[in-house]
Amino acid sequence: MERLWLNEARHKYPMKWIVAVNCSYDEKQKLFGDIYSVFDNWESAHELTVNLRNSNNMGDVTCTEGHDPRPQIGGFTVCPL
């Protein structure tokens, strides 16, 4: 496991789903935690997140999406012609 700020993890794992455990906030209200696993699809990441939360062994658990470097307008991805 690797301890990272979740903003940094989003850029380190672009277009992936990140499951982090033992999450907490620092004094500047930035979230950090231990990266438990990285997935390509949301279903697998969400299933693991639910299982870890139900086990109550890993502290606060969160699932977040990595940064998408493609340009977007109003939530829609802009595709070049």
Instruction: Note the pLDDT tens digit of each residue in 23-78.
Output: 888 877 888 899 999 999 999 999 999 999 999 888 889 899 898 777 777 767 67
Question: Are residues 33 and 60 in contact, defined by beta-carbon separation less than 8 angstroms?
Answer: yes
Indicate the SS3 state at residue 17: strand
Whole-prediction pTM: 0.78
Indicate the SS3 state at residue 28: coil
How would you class 34 by CB atoms within 10 Å of its CB: exposed for 0-12, middle for 13-18, buried for 19 or more? middle
- Compute CA 51 distance to the chain's CA centroid, rounded to the nearest angstrom: 16
The CA distance from 43 to 10, in Å, is 18
